[in-house]
A = this chain, B = another copy of it.
Amino acid sequence: MEDYVTKKLQPIHHSNVNITGDFWRERQAVNRSATIPAVYGLCESTGRIDAFKLDWKPGKPKMPHHFWDSDVAKWIEAAAYSLANQPDAELETRVDGVIGLIAGSQQADGYLNSHYTVVEPEQRWSNLRDMHELYCAGHMIEAAVAYYEATGKRTLLDVMCRYADYIGAVFGPVPDQKHGYPGHEEIELALVKLYRVTGEQRYLGLSRFFVDERGRQPYYFDIEARERGEEPQDNRGQDYFQSQLPVREQTTAEGHSVRAMYLYAAMADLAAETEDEALLTACENLWQNVTERRMYVTGGIGSSWRGERFTTNYDLPNDVAYAETCAAIGLVLWAYRLLQFDGDGQYADVLELALYNGVISGVSLDGTGFFYANPLDVIPSRYESHPELFRIPVMWPRRQEWFQTSCCPTNIARTLASLGQYVASVAGNTAYVHLYVGGDISLEVAGEQVRLTQVTEYPWDGDVRITVQLDRPAEFALALRIPGWCPEATIAVNGQSLDLEPLMCRGYARIQREWSAGDVVELSLAMPVQRLESHPEVSSNCGKVALQRGPLVYCLEEVDNGPNLHDISLPEDAELSVRFADDILGGIMVIEGEGVRRRLADWEGKLYRPFPSHIETVPIQAIPYCYWANREPGEMLVWIDERQCKITG
């Protein structure tokens, strides 16, 4: 397969998908009406917007912090995606105003950073390891591309091209250039976007320079530390920054998980743009390590709050899980890019898993409360009595409207606003449908403009009806994803059942035929409640199961099940059924069943006693994990004790 590395699929622009299914339509509406205004308000009130006025002076409050620019950039990006979906003159005016401030803050040489320009102007590029300069530049480039694509307005794009050109002069392989790379990756994938929208090869080259330079010895972060007069290593180690090895030699996901995801996403981009097989192979090795060893069942990654990072294989503690919202978003970004190479459904499976679970668990249903960390096992009473003993504040099980390091709220906002991009791709004469969200998908396949209208109650129900609209009959293939979680699927075209097995290719059912307007494909994905186990080396989950139905992982909440969730166990033969509860959380599918638990009354005055004690059956009700912490505070638990087993082998 000599064209192995060739990216075959072309993603569609998010604005070509109009999502109408309730699940995501409501999330997008709240994102537009509540989240985007709220995070703007906080960027504004915390001084992040005014920072671009460059009027801060020592002694004044609200000193521009070195990552503030990135929050404003992600807000602009979110707003741009939202404007592309739905015009909003007031929002556009507001963005234009902010862009005016940003443009005004650009220095004569093209430099643009609200922290360094006013706080330590002599220190530019002196600490790539810790100071997020290139990271901020990357996010602002992404914002510029998004806003240009949404509105056609070039102001910010031109500003960021000038800045990128300046960065390209400072960094590069020539002896008098800096051979550095960012401590927090991000600009690498942003430069690929800038290349794609401008066609300027130099941006692609700069991205590749940053990626290739990373991990070379002697380590740049050590060199620059010595230049600052510091000891070369800080206590984080090179692996914290994914700079322990050249990226092509890396096989395990190490260090800060958001940084890792942004790097890996850029590696996938570069592999596609430059047909670099070694980069793709590295991506695949890292993918295998992440998804087979280091990923929560929710798609959360980066299990330790110390360093917000990956730790070791199978180290996935539930109670102290960090699983940062931004890291799950990063996993979506990476999976999305790998999916485009070959249309391999394993990437779409993880993309979907993360989106429906570990990403949107990070935002409340009203759009204004966020989680930075997304644990899978919470007992709030511990925090309440001794908050200092358990976890850092960012991990307290209370949604917060903002954080000191506030990457997650704006990241959620831009993700939800651009959700359409993940729904479909085109590869030559094949239209791929990755996600079933309800709505209209416009795409060009086999030279024809085609509209696919999805009607579905997904994720509550696995029936999907797709109506094909096109001007004249045309032969092409429709490749419909059969999710990895689905044990049984049926498919029919215009009422006629198809034999699925011969159609299957890498997780997609590929229906090749001459399509005419009004053709109807009916896909039915069986969506039983499944009990998942995890690998025997995941010590925290041994003897436990997680409930999953369709793409949704479920959890128990105290408000439904009483306290001491850990003592609930599921007998192996307990039947689990589903019910659409329209009175809960705006209407969700709950899983109901009978569990068992011990009687507290039997334990009065005892801490330990001989097994077995009496147990009693109790009704249990599980809700989707992504809905947790939207009612009264209490315990939450994903992995539930499974109390029986049969020796089968």
Contact = CB atoms under 8 A, between A and B. Distances in A.
B379 A539 contact: yes
Contact of A297 (B291, B533, B608): B608
A543 B545 contact: no
A564 B536 contact: yes
A543 B569 contact: yes
B388 A306 contact: yes
Contact of A311 (B235, B385, B569, B641): B385
A295 B606 CA distance: 11
B617 A304 contact: no
B539 A645 contact: no
A320 to B, nearest CB: 9
A599 interface: yes
Given A292-B605, A645-B612, A649-B614, A312 B385 contact: yes
A567 B642 CA distance: 13
A603 B644 CA distance: 20
Interface string A364-397: 0000000000000001011001101100000000
A386 B599 CA distance: 40
Contacts of A235: 388
Given A293-B607, A600-B537, A608-B532, A307 B615 contact: no
Contacts of A612: 531, 533, 572, 645-646, 648
A315 B596 contact: no
A596 B645 contact: yes
A35 B537 CA distance: 38
Interface string A519-563: 000000000001111111111101111100000000000000000
A643 interface: yes
B641 A543 contact: yes
Among A291, A382, A610, max chain B CB count under 10 A is at A610
Nearest to A553: B608
A162 interface: no
B533 A610 contact: yes
Interface in A332-389: 379, 381-382, 385-386, 388-389
Contacts of A385: 311-312
A176 interface: no
A641 to B, nearest CB: 4
Contacts of A291: 607
Contact of A295 (B304, B381, B607, B615): B607
A500 B551 CA distance: 63
A122 interface: no
Contacts of A540: 566
A647 interface: yes
A537 B597 CA distance: 11
A546 B609 CA distance: 10
A375 to B, nearest CB: 13
Given A293-B607, A644-B645, A312 B382 contact: yes
Contacts of A531: 610-612
Interface in A451-499: 487
B647 A616 contact: yes
A539 B599 CA distance: 14
A613 B610 CA distance: 29
Nearest to A528: B610
B388 A535 contact: no
A312 B309 CA distance: 28
Nearest to A613: B533
Contacts of A649: 599, 614-616
A607 B542 CA distance: 12
A598 interface: yes
Contacts of A487: 610
Given A533-B609, A535-B607, A536-B598, A543 B643 contact: yes
Given A312-B381, A537-B600, 20 more contacts: A235-B388, A292-B606, A292-B607, A304-B389, A311-B389, A315-B382, A379-B539, A487-B610, A533-B609, A535-B603, A535-B608, A536-B600, A538-B607, A540-B566, A545-B611, A546-B608, A569-B645, A599-B649, A611-B642, A616-B647
Interface of A: 235, 288, 291-293, 295, 297, 304, 306-307, 309, 311-312, 315, 379, 381-382, 385-386, 388-389, 487, 530-540, 542-546, 564, 566-567, 569, 571-572, 596-600, 603, 605-617, 641-649
List the 5 closest A-B pairs by CB distance, nearest first.
A614-B649, A539-B566, A543-B641, A531-B611, A536-B567
15 contacts: A306-B388, A306-B389, A311-B386, A312-B382, A312-B386, A315-B382, A530-B610, A536-B564, A536-B598, A536-B600, A542-B641, A571-B645, A599-B649, A615-B645, A643-B645
